[in-house]
């Protein structure tokens, strides 16, 4: 049996790879093409799995229960998307704490944390994460590193699947079309990786990426079962999104024994989502940050109508001023010329038997209407040059300016901070994807480059901060510096303004402008992580 | 010297209408082909407007007819959307506007207005037309190939265009062919104008459309080879692995932008100067007045053409080109607004104290002036480098280009068609239908493109598939819906034109020689003119715009009418 399985891997796996390499095809198409093959592999693996289980390996069984009365799950308001709202006649709640009448707890991810010595190759069959009814199904899931995850959109609305991966590549992809599929593979174990939808903030799912297949999610019964364990000493951990983790050690001595481990969570002990630290309910969550900057970050954005966006950089008002100067000048010319045109059309409409005024022109008026526009236009050039020089021709000299590198790829912004040592490409560098954090009131100098990754090309992007009135193309083969300084705090966006391929329209980054103390705290927190 | 017009020879249908060397037939062939491409380009625009107004909603009625590589359940896929905006622009620029203005009007008007029996090189002329149909087939073939038609924008910026599917090669080959066609046409126009003018037709007695086409031909001849080389280099990069535009092989992606815009900025003038010539003609005839400042009009055309070669960098202000170079391009770009202003004031001067007749041709010519003012003024915003930082690559530029190329060039094309249709086909077009077409087009055009300025000011980027993704532009969605509704009305508005164009061929009133009481030479021959154009070689006595001259009792005085016989 083992040899058969290896045989399958050898013959079929390269074929699968070769399909993947036959770019350019969207992930979506690849998933379609590979589906029958995956199904075949899945069946073969299932057979081999059953065979090896019955060959005499131990099984771990147990149940997870909850003590005390949990607080109610938050209600979801779907008013923002009528498509979602239409799915539900009744109130919907976030499916985070699901307790059975017998006090057992659903949606607990139970997995072997350590002790597994032999790890088989990852199955080729994909695990499916479905976006259906504007919820993720399943809510909790697991897979082995290297095993594909197939993300499906079953809704007729746009979902934007955002994997908040920490040990794997983060991604943030729009899925505009019903029936669309995406296939993603994670290569590093990570428990747990949160998925959220940037369009529908209530949507969440948790994925456990493990180096093996020994995991289980407590189902409606609250029970779990992990089979196929070889003799040895193991640590098993139960993870719940609200109640944190609990672990137990157990030993397997005989190949066909069945061990039982039960977990008991307490409703009064909930975990901080980010840290997993257990705390008492009723007490506010401890602020893990050394500084709470949420007031600065959540400072409401000024409402703008159908006109220029907010102006928040030190030079944006100057650019807007120049814009208004030109608007006034061209506005006056516009009304003058169109007014004269309409006046002439009415005043000099045809009169029968009349003739036009016979003239071939007048040199003096020709000179006047040559010189006046020329003077105005040259003056505009001079006015413009001053601002142009400030924005694009000089870089800030301040010694305490923030230096950041942004590497644009198809279709994301990789942000790099030099870290405590102030030097780039050292181990203490802070790296982020699509998340740019800057302080208010300090010049920021960003070096822009375009990079290629495994299956993506270095192409031209354009770094666009609408509210800063800043735009700069990112040119492959060049490192281009830009600078900006924010006048206020808050959350804004980075857009790509140069067409860069299929995902151009969703090459969106997020900009957080902190208070100076908040930025320092954020840096410290990033350095610690 | 032009030979005497010869009596019409008996030619077979094929020789007469298909493989014709007669400049009039070739002009009409260009016109027909380009109008079909114009229609096709317009339909592509409507599809992409649908996606912009209703992202992710299936296209009604026809959505399900498209294969799954283009639409999923009637919903336009991002891949297809990218092809749509690329092909819309490519068809409109390379296959509609340039061939109508330069190919159709250039061919039809030049010999007739200078009093020549035909072009200097009739066979070269035929070759220049017959490069167009294969080019059209090749560029459209992209839609049926794996990976779809070209999808990198009409600017095809590498490195992106280096890695796109095979449709990009079709695009490159096709544009090389159409560029060759332009070059052949240009050689022909220049030679014809310089050598084949009728006796007495000095350069400064030439009608303004001929002047505009002459200068346009010089621009084409100087700029198009640079585009052709850029296209060829990119084709080499894509096919035999050179690295002209790839930094990893020592090339530079900015090189393409310089070569491309060195052609494509002058190309904007290729697309507007003939229109200016046509409009000058129509306005002068319908105002019954000489064109105001004939000489300054010509010098303005020359200035635009000359300056047009040193402004290309304004497309690259934010590209990473040295910002100091940006400064010099800012100055040259602002200066080029001066000759454009001169032309506008001269048109106003021509209308001033005229005796204005309103026909569909005149209405379209007036619309040209009015819309060109908007397109010209919006250009000043982009010419100013700091303002351009914000509005570069936004819908502001989309608005600007459409005010120049539709508000400008297309209204001039309509004016030209309504004006010369009687001479081309010997029949009059229907006036009420023409006015209906004008009103629908004018209102829907402004409804479609004016709000794009506002989208641009809001920071909405060009070429994005889904406009609802970003917080700073999501609230502009009602404007997108409004634009799309207007775009559909604009599309519908072309139906009266199509009916009028083809209906008048069959049922139009027979046109006499000079229905507009105009001065230029083409109106002194029959409608349509015979093979060889003129019964006798015309003798030219005066400039083209002697309307309301005291020399004549009537308010027009043809160029070939001997002096003293006017009364």
pLDDT per position as a tens digit, B340-371: 999 999 999 999 999 999 999 999 999 999 99
pLDDT of B109 > 90? The answer is yes
Instruction: Inspect the interface and report whether the beta carbons of B323 and A478 lie closer than 8 Å.
Output: no
Distance, CA of A344 to chain centre: 58
Phi and psi dihedrals of A200, rounded to 5?
-120, 95
Q: pLDDT of A10-21, one tens digit each?
A: 333 333 333 333
Chain A residues within 8 A of B326 when measuring between CB atoms: 388, 392
Chain B residues within 8 A of A329 when measuring between CB atoms: 380
pLDDT at B22: 94
pLDDT at A282: 41
Segment B35-43 shows an average pLDDT of 97
State how far the Cα of B28 lies from the Cα of B370, in Å rounded to an integer: 28
Q: What b/e readout covers A12-28, taking b as 16+ CB neighbours within 10 angstroms?
A: beeebeeebeeeebbbb
Name the closest residue on chain B to residue A349, using Cα atoms: B356
A152 neighbors A168 (Cβ within 8 angstroms): no
pLDDT at A48: 44
Average pLDDT, chain A: 83
Average pLDDT, chain B: 94
Q: Please, which pLDDT band fits residue A455 given cuts at 50, 70 and 90?
A: confident
Instruction: Inspect the interface and report whether the beta carbons of B385 and A385 lie closer than 8 Å.
Output: yes
Query: What domains are defined for chain A?
Result: 56-289 (2.60.40.420), 290-340+395-529 (2.60.40.420)
pLDDT at A55: 47
pLDDT at A232: 86
Nearest to B253 among A351, A469, A477 (CB): A477
Name the closest residue on chain B to residue A177, using Cα atoms: B56
Instruction: Inspect the interface and report whether the beta carbons of A497 and B393 lie closer than 8 Å.
Output: yes
Q: Give the ranges where A353-472 is alpha helix by DSSP (H).
A: 363-388
State how far the Cα of B392 lies from the Cα of B378, in Å rounded to an integer: 12
State how far the Cα of A322 lies from the Cα of A318, in Å rounded to an integer: 6
pLDDT of A50 > 50? The answer is no
State how far the Cα of B57 lies from the Cα of B221, in Å rounded to an integer: 46
User: H or E stretch including B45?
Assistant: helix B23-53
Which residue of A376, A468, A473 to mutate against B (max B Cβ within 10 Å)? Answer: A473
Instruction: Inspect the interface and report whether the beta carbons of B292 and A373 lie closer than 8 Å.
Output: no
State how far the Cα of A160 lies from the Cα of A182, in Å rounded to an integer: 11
Q: pLDDT of A352-381, one tens digit each?
A: 888 999 999 999 999 999 999 999 999 999
Enumerate the domain spans of chain B.
Answer: 14-524
What number of residues does chain A have? Answer: 529
Q: Which two tokens stand for residue B388?
A: 């351009």
pLDDT at A280: 43
Is A127 an 8 Å CB contact of chain B?
Answer: no
State how far the Cα of A362 lies from the Cα of A371, in Å rounded to an integer: 15
Segment B175-191 shows an average pLDDT of 97
More confident: B277 or A172: B277
Task: Output the CA–CA distances (angstroms, integers) from residue A510 to A96, A490, B214, in the order listed.
Answer: 27, 11, 53
Phi and psi dihedrals of A474, rounded to 5?
-105, 115
Q: Please, which pLDDT band fits residue A46 given cuts at 50, 70 and 90?
A: very low
Name the closest residue on chain B to residue A357, using Cα atoms: B353
Nearest to B390 among A374, A389, A469 (CB): A469
Q: Please, which pLDDT band fits residue A114 given cuts at 50, 70 and 90?
A: confident
Residue whose token pair is 């909850």: A66
User: H or E stretch including B140?
Assistant: helix B132-141
Nearest to B254 among A318, A337, A475 (CB): A475
State how far the Cα of A170 lies from the Cα of B148, in Å rounded to an integer: 30
- CA torsion sign for B359, B365, B370, B375 is positive
Instruction: Inspect the interface and report whether the beta carbons of A378 and B380 lie closer than 8 Å.
Output: no
How is B163-231 classified by DSSP, letter by letter?
Answer: HS-THHHHHHHHHHHHHHHHHHHHHHHHHHHHH-PPTT--GGGS-HHHHHHHHHHHHHHHHHHHHHHHH
Cα atoms in the 13 Å half-sphere on the side-chain side of B154: 19
pLDDT at B384: 96
Q: Which CATH class is domain B14-524?
A: mainly alpha
Q: pLDDT of B514-536, one tens digit each?
A: 999 999 999 999 999 998 999 99
Distance, CA of A457 to chain centre: 20
B462 neighbors B397 (Cβ within 8 angstroms): yes
Out of A29-33, A223-227, B382-386, least confident range:
A29-33
Instruction: Inspect the interface and report whether the beta carbons of A385 and B253 lie closer than 8 Å.
Output: no
Q: pLDDT of B233-282, one tens digit each?
A: 999 999 999 999 999 889 999 999 999 999 999 999 999 999 999 999 99
A157 neighbors A270 (Cβ within 8 angstroms): no
pLDDT at A43: 47
State how far the Cα of A78 lies from the Cα of A134, in Å rounded to an integer: 9
Q: What are the helix and strand counts (H, E) for chain A? A: 7, 31
State how far the Cα of B437 lies from the Cα of B309, in Å rounded to an integer: 36
Residue A104: DSSP 8-state: B
């Amino acid at each position: 049996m083992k040899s058969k399985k290896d045989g399958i891997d050898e013959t079929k796996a390269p074929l699968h790879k070769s399909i993947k390499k036959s770019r350019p095809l969207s992930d979506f198409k690849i998933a379609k093409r590979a589906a029958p093959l995956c199904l075949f592999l899945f069946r073969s693996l299932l057979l081999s799995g059953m065979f090896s289980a019955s060959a005499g390996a131990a099984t771990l069984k147990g149940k997870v229960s909850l003590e005390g009365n949990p607080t109610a799950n938050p209600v979801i308001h779907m008013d923002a998307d009528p498509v979602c709202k239409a799915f539900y006649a009744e109130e919907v709640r976030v499916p985070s704490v699901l307790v059975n009448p017998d006090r057992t707890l659903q949606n607990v991810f139970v997995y072997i944390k350590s002790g597994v010595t032999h790890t088989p190759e990852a199955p080729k069959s994909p695990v499916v994460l479905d976006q259906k009814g504007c919820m993720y199904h399943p809510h909790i899931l697991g897979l082995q590193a290297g095993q594909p995850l197939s993300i499906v959109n079953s809704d007729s609305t746009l979902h934007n699947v955002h994997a908040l991966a920490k040990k794997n590549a983060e991604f943030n992809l729009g899925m505009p079309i019903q029936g669309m599929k995406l296939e993603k593979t994670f290569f590093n174990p990570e428990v747990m990786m949160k998925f959220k939808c940037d369009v529908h903030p209530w949507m969440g799912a948790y994925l456990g990426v493990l180096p093996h297949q020994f995991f289980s999610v407590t189902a409606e019964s609250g029970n779990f079962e992990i089979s196929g364990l070889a003799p040895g000493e193991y640590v098993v951990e139960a993870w719940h999104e609200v109640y944190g983790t609990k672990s137990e050690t157990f030993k397997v001595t005989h190949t066909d024994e069945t061990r039982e481990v039960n977990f008991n969570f307490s409703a009064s002990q909930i975990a901080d989502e980010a840290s997993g630290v257990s705390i008492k309910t009723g007490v506010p969550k401890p602020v893990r940050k050394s500084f709470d900057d949420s007031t600065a970050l959540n400072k409401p954005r000024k409402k703008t109508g159908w006109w220029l966006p907010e102006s928040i950089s030190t030079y944006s008002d100057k650019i807007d001023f120049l814009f208004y100067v030109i608007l006034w000048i061209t506005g006056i010319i516009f009304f003058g010329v169109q007014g004269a045109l309409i006046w002439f059309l009415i005043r000099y409409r045809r009169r029968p038997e009349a003739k036009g005024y016979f003239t071939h022109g007048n040199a003096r008026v020709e000179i006047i209407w040559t010189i006046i526009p020329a003077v105005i236009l040259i003056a505009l050039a001079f006015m413009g040059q001053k601002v142009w020089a400030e924005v694009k021709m000089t870089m800030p000299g301040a010694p305490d300016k923030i230096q950041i590198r942004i590497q644009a790829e198809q279709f994301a912004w990789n942000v790099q901070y030099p870290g405590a040592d102030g030097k780039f490409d050292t181990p203490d560098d802070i790296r982020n994807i699509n998340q740019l954090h800057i302080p208010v009131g300090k010049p920021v100098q960003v070096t822009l480059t375009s990079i290629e990754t495994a299956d993506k090309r270095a192409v031209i992007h354009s770094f666009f901060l609408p509210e800063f009135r800043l735009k700069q193309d990112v040119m492959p083969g060049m490192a281009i510096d830009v600078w900006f300084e924010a006048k206020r705090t808050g959350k804004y966006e980075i857009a790509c303004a140069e067409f860069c391929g299929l995902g151009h329209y969703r090459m969106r980054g997020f900009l957080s402008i902190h208070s100076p103390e908040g930025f320092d705290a954020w840096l410290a927190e990033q350095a610690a992580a | 010297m032009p030979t005497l017009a010869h009596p019409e020879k008996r030619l077979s249908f094929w020789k007469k209408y298909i493989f014709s060397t007669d400049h009039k037939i070739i002009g009409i062939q260009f016109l027909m082909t380009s109008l079909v491409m114009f229609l096709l380009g317009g339909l592509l625009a409507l599809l992409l407007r649908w996606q912009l107004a209703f992202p992710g909603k299936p296209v009604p009625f026809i959505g399900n007819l498209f294969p799954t590589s283009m639409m999923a359940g009637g919903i336009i896929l991002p891949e297809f959307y990218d092809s749509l905006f690329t092909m819309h622009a490519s068809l409109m620029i390379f296959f509609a506007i340039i061939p109508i203005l330069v190919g159709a009007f250039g061919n039809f008007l030049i010999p007739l207005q200078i009093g020549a029996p035909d072009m200097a090189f009739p066979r070269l002329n035929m070759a220049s037309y017959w490069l167009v149909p294969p080019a059209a087939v090749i560029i459209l073939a992209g839609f049926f190939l794996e990976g779809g038609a070209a999808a990198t924008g009409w600017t095809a910026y590498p490195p992106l265009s280096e890695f796109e599917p095979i449709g990009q090669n079709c695009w490159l080959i096709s544009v090389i062919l159409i560029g060759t066609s332009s070059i052949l046409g240009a050689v022909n126009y220049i030679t014809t104008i310089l050598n084949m003018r009728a006796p007495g037709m000095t350069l400064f007695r030439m009608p303004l459309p001929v002047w505009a086409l002459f200068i346009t031909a010089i621009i084409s001849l100087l700029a198009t080879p640079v585009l052709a080389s850029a296209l060829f280099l990119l084709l080499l990069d894509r096919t035999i692995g050179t690295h002209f535009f790839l930094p990893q092989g020592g090339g530079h992606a900015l090189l393409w932008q310089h070569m491309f815009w060195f052609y494509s900025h002058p190309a904007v003038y290729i697309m507007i100067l003939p229109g200016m010539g046509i409009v000058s003609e129509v306005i002068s005839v319908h105002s019954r007045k000489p064109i105001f400042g004939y000489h300054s009009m010509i010098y303005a055309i020359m200035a635009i053409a000359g300056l047009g070669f040193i402004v290309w960098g304004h497309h690259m202000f934010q590209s990473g080109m040295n910002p100091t170079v940006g400064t010099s391009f800012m100055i040259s770009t602002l200066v080029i607004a001066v000759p454009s202003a001169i032309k506008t004031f001269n048109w106003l001067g021509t209308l001033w104290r005229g005796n204005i007749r309103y026909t569909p041709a005149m209405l379209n010519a007036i619309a040209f002036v009015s819309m060109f003012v908007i397109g010209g003024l919006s250009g000043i915003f982009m010419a100013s480098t700091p303002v351009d930082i914000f509005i570069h690559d936004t819908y502001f530029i989309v608005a600007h280009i459409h005010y120049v190329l539709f508000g400008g060039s297309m209204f001039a094309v309509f004016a030209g068609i309504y004006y010369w249709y009687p001479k081309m086909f010997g029949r009059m077009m229907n006036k009420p239908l023409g006015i209906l077409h004008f009103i629908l087009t004018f209102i829907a055009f402004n409804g479609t493109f004016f709000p794009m300025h506002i989208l641009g000011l809001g920071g909405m980027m060009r070429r994005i598939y889904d406009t609802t993704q970003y917080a700073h532009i999501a609230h502009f969605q009602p404007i997108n819906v409004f634009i799309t509704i207007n775009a559909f009305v604009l599309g519908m508005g072309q139906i009266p034109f199509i009916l009028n164009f083809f209906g008048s061929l069959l049922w139009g009133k027979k046109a006499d020689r000079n229905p507009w009481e105009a001065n230029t030479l083409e109106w002194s021959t029959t409608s349509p003119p015979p093979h060889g154009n003129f019964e006798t070689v015309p003798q030219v006595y005066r400039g083209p715009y002697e309307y309301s001259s005291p020399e004549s009792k009537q308010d027009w005085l043809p160029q070939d009418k001997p002096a003293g016989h006017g009364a």
